[in-house]
C-alpha cells in the first residue's frame, strides 16, 4: 500500500520516515539542508495523511518500500523500526539505511507482552483524552527534554487523529515487534546508526546493533537526547551528508 508522501528536489533519492506523533513535515528542515538530493518524506500509517494505523510492522515495512524510490532510507524511532523491516524484507529498494534512535526489538517474551499491554492502555487513553491533551503529556516525557518549543513541532503533531495514533500503537508498537537481532547480519547495505549521548537506553542499543551489522557506522551525538535530528540539527546534518555522499 502506498503511503501519503511528498518528493522535493533532484538528485539521488532519499526517503524519510518520522517518529510516533509526528508527520512527514517533521523532516522539513532536514530536506531544506539536502539541496542535492530528491527527498521523499512519508507519512507513516496512522499519521498525517496516511490515516490507516491498523498496519503491522511487516505491513509498514512493505508500505514504505511501495512508496519510496530505490535509494537511501532514513527512519527515526518508530520510523527506524519500520525502516529496519523495509531493509530486511525488501533490500533491493534500500541502498543505504539510516536508523536514528532505533531498536531491533525487545527480546524477552514477558517484557514484550507487558509492552503490548502498556501500549494498549496508552492507545485507549489517547482515544479517551484526545490528541491535544495526549501530545502535551507525550512531550513531557523525559526523553524529549532536549526539544525546544520550536523543535517540538507541536502544531504539526496536533494534525494527527486519536484513532490513527491509537491504532499505530496497537498494531506497530514496540511490543508487537518480533525481535530482529538475529537477522541484523542480513543487512548488506551500508548502515548508519545515530543516537544521543543522553539517551542511554538507545545509545546502548545502537552500540549493540553496530556490533552486529557488517557494514555499519555508529555516531553517538554529545549532549543530545532521543530526537537527535531536531535537538542537534547541524551536527546531525554533517553526519548524514557525509554518509549519503
- Residue 51 is predicted with a pLDDT of 86
Q: 51 near 110, Cβ under 8 Å?
A: no
Backbone angles phi, psi at 219, to 5 degrees: -130, 120
CA distance 68 to 93: 8
DSSP 95-127: EEEEEES--S----HHHHHHHHHHHHHHHHHHH
Q: Where are the alpha helices (DSSP H) in the chain?
A: 28-32, 57-67, 78-89, 109-129, 131-139, 154-157, 162-172, 200-212, 228-231, 233-244
Distance CA 69, CA 71 (A): 6
Torsion, Cα 36 101 46 5, to 10 degrees, reads: 10
Of 195, 204, 205, nearest to 232 (Cα)? 195
* CA pseudo-torsion sign 117, 3, 24, 78: positive
Map grid coordinates 532514513 to a residue.
Answer: 74
With a CB cutoff of 8 Å and minimum separation 6, the contacts of 205 are 102, 103, 104, 195
5-244: CATH topology: Rossmann fold (3.40.50)
| Residues 44 and 50: beta-carbon distance below 8 Å | yes
Predicted local distance difference test score (pLDDT) of residue 155: 95
Please state, in angstroms and rounded to a whole number, the distance separating the CA atoms of residues 170 and 159: 20
Side-chain-side CA neighbours of residue 12 (13 Å): 13
C-alpha pair distances (Å), 16 with each of 71, 128, 148, 177: 11, 30, 22, 20
What predicted TM-score, i.e. pTM, was given to this entire model?
0.97
Q: What is residue 179's DSSP assignment?
A: P
- Would you write out the chain's pLDDT as a tens digit for each of its 245 residues? 999 999 999 999 999 999 999 999 999 999 999 989 999 999 999 999 998 999 999 999 999 999 999 999 999 999 999 999 999 999 999 999 999 999 999 999 999 999 999 999 999 999 999 999 999 999 999 999 999 999 999 999 999 999 999 999 999 999 999 999 999 999 999 999 999 999 999 999 999 999 999 999 999 999 999 999 999 999 999 999 999 99
For residue 155, with 0-12 CB atoms within 10 Å meaning exposed, 13-18 middle and 19 or more buried, which class applies?
A: exposed
Q: Do the bridges between strand 38-42 and strand 5-8 make them parallel or antiparallel, or are there none, so unpaired?
A: antiparallel
Amino acid at each position: 500500500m502506498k503511503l501519503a508522501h511528498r518528493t522535493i528536489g533532484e538528485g539521488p533519492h532519499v526517503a524519510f520516515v518520522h517518529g510516533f506523533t509526528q508527520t512527514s513535515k517533521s523532516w522539513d528542515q532536514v530536506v531544506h539542508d539536502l539541496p542535492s538530493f530528491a527527498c521523499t518524506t512519508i507519512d507513516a500509517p496512522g499519521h498525517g495523511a496516511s490515516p490507516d494505523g491498523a498496519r503491522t510492522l511487516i505491513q509498514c515495512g512493505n508500505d514504505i518500500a511501495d512508496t519510496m524510490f530505490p535509494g537511501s532510507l532514513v527512519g527515526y524511532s518508530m520510523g527506524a523500526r519500520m525502516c529496519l523491516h523495509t531493509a530486511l524484507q525488501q533490500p533491493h529498494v534500500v541502498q543505504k539505511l539510516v536508523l536514528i534512535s532505533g531498536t531491533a526489538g525487545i527480546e524477552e517474551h514477558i517484557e514484550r507482552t507487558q509492552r503490548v499491554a502498556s501500549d494498549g492502555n496508552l492507545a485507549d487513553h489517547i482515544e479517551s483524552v484526545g490528541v491535544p491533551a495526549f501530545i502535551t503529556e507525550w512531550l513531557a516525557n523525559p526523553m524529549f527534554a532536549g526539544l525546544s518549543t520550536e523543535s517540538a513541532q507541536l502544531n504539526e503533531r496536533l494534525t494527527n487523529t486519536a484513532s490513527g495514533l491509537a491504532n499505530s500503537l496497537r498494531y506497530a508498537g514496540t511490543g508487537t515487534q518480533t525481535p530482529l537481532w538475529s537477522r541484523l547480519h542480513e543487512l548488506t547495505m551500508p548502515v548508519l546508526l545515530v543516537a544521543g549521548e543522553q539517551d542511554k537506553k538507545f545509545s546502548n542499543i545502537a552500540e549493540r546493533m553496530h556490533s552486529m551489522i557488517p557494514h555499519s557506522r555508529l555516531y553517538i551525538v554529545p549532549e543530545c537526547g532521543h530526537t537527535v535530528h531536531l535537538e542537534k540539527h547541524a551536527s546531525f546534518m554533517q553526519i548524514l551528508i557525509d554518509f549519503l555522499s
